[in-house]
Amino acid sequence: MRRLAFLALLLLALAVGLVFAGRVGLGPLVITREGDQQLILFLGSPQRVTEPGPALRWPFVETAESYSRRWLNLNAKPDTILTADGEQLIVDSYAIWRIRDPKEFKRTFPSGIEAAETGIDRSVRDDVREVLGRHTLEQVLDSQRAEIMREITARTQAKVGGFGIEVADVRINRTELPTGAEESVYARMKTERERLGRKNRAEGDERARRIRAEADREATVIVANARRDAEIARGEGEALAARIYAEAYGGDAEFYAFVRSLEAYRIAVDEDTTLVLSPHAEFFRFLESSTPPPRPGR
């Protein structure tokens, strides 16, 4: 019984010792924590990568190096960049990266994380300088900033992707003008805005002239069509009136002559009118008697 208890204690101590040895990098057992990855090296040469949990190795001939799986932040050194329109900018950028393949990472950067960060920093600064140098100040600060950052990220990933590194994003952390250059930049920006304002006003005036000319043309066409329709309606009305007059005259010519004469008296003669005419004048033939005499020649 005592022998069994001794064996159990011995096995337990051995298990604890193996776990402890695995944690400190000794013994055949390797413990990989969640969020990490262990690179097994055989006499210094990268062999395989362990997953989270326990793994075995050959003691003394195989060693393990731990690398994080998490995304890391690298602040690149500030750099002075000349934009396409001749403006100088002090740009401070950063990159989000992680170790994707520890074997390739170890082969490329045998000295570790610091050497990798130096290489990434150099690649980021070169790409930021090259891409920003092809764009104007306005594009960098506003209109095309998102597209510029995507291009820089893609270029940096293409450079370092073969080294076991993955770059998720490159961003500009700070953009400043060199000391003493603010006033000259603001003056150029003001001149450019004034030029754009004059250009926009000229284009607006030209468009307004075209709109007014088109409106005048349409108004002329509308008025001409309206006058044509009015003339047609007036002609049709006069023809209808002439027909009505003709029909009325044909129905009772004497009465028609009487009514027309009364209308002529109303228009031509008022209280201030003095007429000197012969008593037998045709104009007064309806005033001589209540029965209108026949016209001469009848």
Q: 44-76 pLDDT, tens per residue?
A: 778 778 877 777 777 767 788 888 889 999 998
What is the pLDDT averaged over residues 28-47?
78
Residues contacting residue 81 through CB under 8 Å, at least 6 positions apart: 88, 89, 90, 91, 128, 129, 132, 133
Write the burial class of residue 131 (CB in 10 Å: 0-12 exposed, 13-18 middle, 19+ buried): buried
Predicted local distance difference test score (pLDDT) of residue 60? 65
Whole-prediction pTM: 0.53
Least confident of 11-25, 177-191, 210-224: 11-25
Whether the pLDDT of residue 168 is over 80: the answer is yes
Residue among 277, 272, 274 nearest 288 (CA):
277
DSSP E strand boundaries for the chain: 29-32, 36-42, 45-50, 53-56, 62-68, 72-75, 79-82, 88-99, 165-176
- Token couple for 246: 């003709």
pLDDT band at 185 (very low <50, low <70, confident <90, very high): low
The residue with greater pLDDT, 292 or 59, is: 59
Whether the pLDDT of residue 179 is over 80: the answer is no
What are the chain's domains?
2-68 (no CATH), 72-179 (3.30.479.30), 253-298 (no CATH)
In tens, the pLDDT along 245-282 reads 777 777 767 777 777 777 777 776 676 777 666 666 66
Least confident of 29-43, 117-131, 211-225: 29-43
Could you give the C-alpha distances from 89 to 69, 129, 131, 136, 145, in angstroms and in order? 35, 10, 13, 11, 14
In tens, the pLDDT along 78-116 reads 888 888 887 788 888 999 999 988 888 988 888 888 999
Predicted local distance difference test score (pLDDT) of residue 298? 44
Predicted local distance difference test score (pLDDT) of residue 71? 93
What's the rounded Cα separation, in Å, for the pair 48 and 43? 13
Q: Which residue type, as a one-letter code, is found at position 36? A: D
Whether the pLDDT of residue 297 is over 60: the answer is no
Predicted local distance difference test score (pLDDT) of residue 228? 92
Least confident of 27-36, 208-217, 287-296: 287-296
CA angle 237, 241, 243 (to 5 degrees): 115
Helix axes 182-251, 253-268, angle to 10 degrees: 130
Cα 58–chain centre separation = 60
Strands 72-75 and 36-42: unpaired
pLDDT, mean over the chain = 79
39 forms beta bridges with: 49, 65
